[in-house]
Homo-oligomer: A and B are copies of this chain.
Amino acid sequence: MKNFSIAKSRRLRSTPYTSRIEKQGVTAYTIYNHMLLPAAFGSIENSYKHLKENVQVWDVAAERQVEISGKDSAKLVQLMTCRDLSKSKIGRCYYCPIIDNSGNLVNDPVILKLDENKWWISIADSDVIFFAKGLAAGNNFDVKIIEPVVDIMAVQGPKSFALMEKVFGKKITELKFFGFDYFDFEETKHLIARSGWSKQGGYEVYVQNTVSGQKLYDHLFEVGKEFHVSPGCPNLIERIENALLSYGNDFDNNDNPFECGFDKYVSLDSDINFLGKEKLKQIKSKGVQKKIMGVKIDIKEINLTGSKNLYDENNNIIGELRSATYSPHFQKVIGIAMMQKSHWEVSQSFEIQINNNTFNGKVCDLPFI
């Protein structure tokens, strides 16, 4: 598989940590929200093993924030998501599918309630800010919508708790999952959430004071030696094994939340007002015809750079593989696929063509583990 360089420019924004990760050996980037997101520091499998045992610091500044504040901010935020936020609390994070008027997904951010009238939408890879601006203008809402200077660094892995306690004290270990609070580092306050895009545990530091954040980045490596701290990034193997879905990879604006297994975040019975609500009611009553499922394929490697069709024994397309990786845990390839209704049963088989060879795979439930 040939490598291609990334042509950097201002349009593919660097982060406050870019010069650091380049010294630390980043080898590949992806682009996420028009920004550089590290994708590999050498071997992804080595990084996966390290992440599951130790602690990593990740430059995930590409998780940009859409800040919505003002009198109508709660109304606008609720209009954008099918999840009922009427009982949401300050200091909590909420995973919220964002839905358009057709009932399709626009993004699947984590929303932080900072105050009754101030929210951060911590977005996946699409320009939610323009969706919010369009809705606000069209509805004459009294809101202010900006992309604030917030550059997240994540601290992930089983030893993240010990490392963060060493820096911020015992209080940070008491933070509940998807809770956030403010913690001092050298007299600068940082918003820190117990969250992150791995299932290995950890934190995300929403850095607003860039200089202090850079110092914190360096400090984590200085004091983290005893925990074998290393630089890292969202890991393809770890995220697929744990079925952390990715907007743009596993689903996109052609899919609705029921097709993506987000049923529990769709609050159709409440009296809240959100976009696409009637459409989603129709979709639910009709039932969906495709759904995201896991797949396992009995091969040792795959290099998926786009969608790949899955076939039944009569050569009919019955699904589309959207993400895949070799899994050291299962010792075979696992993947996330949008499957047609005929193939929603666990253990149903399908065929896939790779380099002109046909292989067999089986459907399974998500998460794999």
Could you tell me which A residues sit within 8 Å of B by CB distance?
Answer: 2-14, 22, 26-31, 34, 39-40, 100-101, 106, 125-139, 147, 246-249, 253, 275, 304-307, 322-323
Contacts and interface: CB of A to CB of B under 8 A. Distances in A.
A273 to B, nearest CB: 12
Contact of A14 (B10, B34, B130, B306): B306
Contacts of A4: 5-6, 22, 26-29
Contact of A6 (B5, B101, B131, B132): B5
Nearest to A40: B7
Contact of A10 (B3, B27, B138, B304): B304
A11 B30 contact: yes
Contacts of A12: 30-31
Contact of A131 (B10, B131, B147, B307): B131
A3 B26 CA distance: 10
A6 B34 contact: no
25 contacts: A4-B26, A4-B27, A4-B29, A5-B29, A6-B6, A7-B29, A7-B30, A8-B305, A9-B30, A10-B248, A10-B249, A10-B323, A14-B305, A34-B248, A100-B137, A106-B133, A126-B130, A127-B130, A131-B133, A131-B134, A134-B134, A134-B136, A135-B138, A137-B138, A138-B138
Contact of A130 (B10, B128, B247): B128
Nearest to A11: B248
Q: Which of A135, A275, A304, A307 has the most CB of B within 10 A?
A: A135
Given A100-B133, A134-B131, A28 B9 contact: no
List 5 tightest A-B contacts by C-beta distance, closest first: A138-B138, A134-B134, A11-B248, A7-B39, A127-B127
A101 B133 contact: yes
B305 A137 contact: no
Contacts of A7: 28-30, 39-40
Contacts of A14: 305-306
A319 B130 CA distance: 27
A171 B305 CA distance: 40
Given A106-B133, A133-B134, 19 more contacts: A4-B26, A4-B28, A7-B29, A9-B30, A9-B249, A9-B304, A9-B306, A10-B304, A11-B246, A11-B247, A12-B30, A14-B306, A100-B130, A100-B133, A130-B134, A131-B133, A132-B134, A134-B136, A136-B138
Contacts of A135: 134-135, 137-138
A34 to B, nearest CB: 6
A307 B13 CA distance: 9
Contacts of A322: 10
Nearest to A124: B11
Given A4-B27, A29-B4, A137-B138, A9 B305 contact: yes
B30 A307 contact: no
Contacts of A29: 4-7
